[in-house]
Amino acid sequence: MNNLHPSTDLKPHQITPTGLDFLAPDKNHTVNVDHSILLYVESLSVAFEGFQAINDLNLYITDGELRCIIGPNGAGKTTMMDIITGKTAPDSGIVYFGQTIDLLKLDEPAIAQAGVGRKFQKPTVFEHLSVWHNLELAMAQKRNFWSLLHAKMTPEQRANIDEVLVLIGLKDQARKLAGTLSHGQKQWLEIGALLMQRPRLLLVDEPVAGMTHQEMDKTAELLRSLAGKHSVIVVEHDMEFVRNLSDGGKTVSVLHQGSILAEGTMAEVQNDDRVKQVYLGE
């Protein structure tokens, strides 16, 4: 294994969000990507009551990359995301955001503030608020519901919300209550709310579960549009969706028993005998 990770002697920088330009992550976030790698995961392990959920995991995500991660149930996908976002502490290993930010030394709010956003499988939108107000609440600044009742938005802030609405395909639904949206539209709204936080890295957990084929295609188009401005890690079980999303030679990682079993294009991992045996059942 090459020694790719930054020095563990370096200290994480203080992160302060500024500005509201949605279209790109906040470049004032102190994320050093001199080596083009945004996320370093090395020698990561964690066990729960004797079960080895993550086993010497090594994963590197480049700046602006769209990475798909697949694997059978129990492979460690959710635990991996829990560790990256500060929900679970590992037994050993390192997780760095850029060259200098040690995510294992930060709590969940600080990791989110540093520029790591996570979308869970089940959408969690405010169903009794409009689509617009859901995005307004998610805006990357210190706001709460009561302050929103009395605050006046600037033209720039309104423009930012409009841009997100167009991107997620909900411009015509802006005034509708979120609870009236279809399942797929709620997923897009939650992705939009995440984007309002201006993350550098997005972790997206099974975004197309329960979607129609048309909604799946739109979701793939949305996630592909985010790559470049953001790094995006998509964990998904639907192989047709992964084939669509990774089209063009994007890297697919196969997780098995808490470590990387194979990596490559979708065609390469599908033709890997180890993947056929443990994931595809062949």
pLDDT (tens digit, 9 = 90+) per residue, 238-276? 889 999 999 999 999 999 999 999 999 999 999 999 998
Would you give the DSSP letter of residue 13? P
Q: Is pLDDT at 206 greater than 50 in this prediction?
A: yes
Residues 6+ apart with CB under 8 A from 159: none
Given this model, what pLDDT does residue 11 score?
33
Q: Closest by alpha carbon to 141, among 121, 161, 124?
A: 161
Given this model, what pLDDT does residue 17 score?
32
Please state, in angstroms and rounded to a whole number, the distance separating the CA atoms of residues 203 and 138.
17
> What pLDDT, in 10s, does the model give residues 97-123?
999 999 999 999 999 999 999 998 777
The pLDDT-based confidence of 30 (bands split at 50, 70, 90) is confident
Question: Where is 275: in which H helix or E strand?
Answer: helix 273-278
Give the mean pLDDT of the chain: 86
The pLDDT-based confidence of 237 (bands split at 50, 70, 90) is confident
Q: pLDDT: is 238 or 67 the higher one?
A: 67
pLDDT mean over 214-235: 95
Please state, in angstroms and rounded to a whole number, the distance separating the CA atoms of residues 157 and 5.
38
Cα–Cα separations (whole angstroms), residue 13 to 39, 105, 125, 182: 15, 11, 31, 41
The pLDDT-based confidence of 146 (bands split at 50, 70, 90) is low
Please state, in angstroms and rounded to a whole number, the distance separating the CA atoms of residues 92 and 59.
15
Strands 252-256 and 66-70: parallel
Q: Closest by alpha carbon to 209, among 272, 121, 273?
A: 121
Sheet holding 66-70, edge to edge: 116-119, 201-205, 231-235, 66-70, 252-256, 259-264
Given this model, what pLDDT does residue 12 score?
31
| Segment among 27-31, 201-205, 236-240 with least mean pLDDT | 27-31
Q: Is pLDDT at 160 greater than 60 in this prediction?
A: yes
Given this model, what pLDDT does residue 282 score?
59
Given this model, what pLDDT does residue 85 score?
97
Q: Is pLDDT at 217 greater than 50 in this prediction?
A: yes
Q: Is pLDDT at 222 greater than 90 in this prediction?
A: yes
| Segment among 31-40, 83-92, 132-141 with least mean pLDDT | 132-141
Given this model, what pLDDT does residue 145 score?
57
Structure tokens at 203: 């972790």
Given this model, what pLDDT does residue 7 score?
42
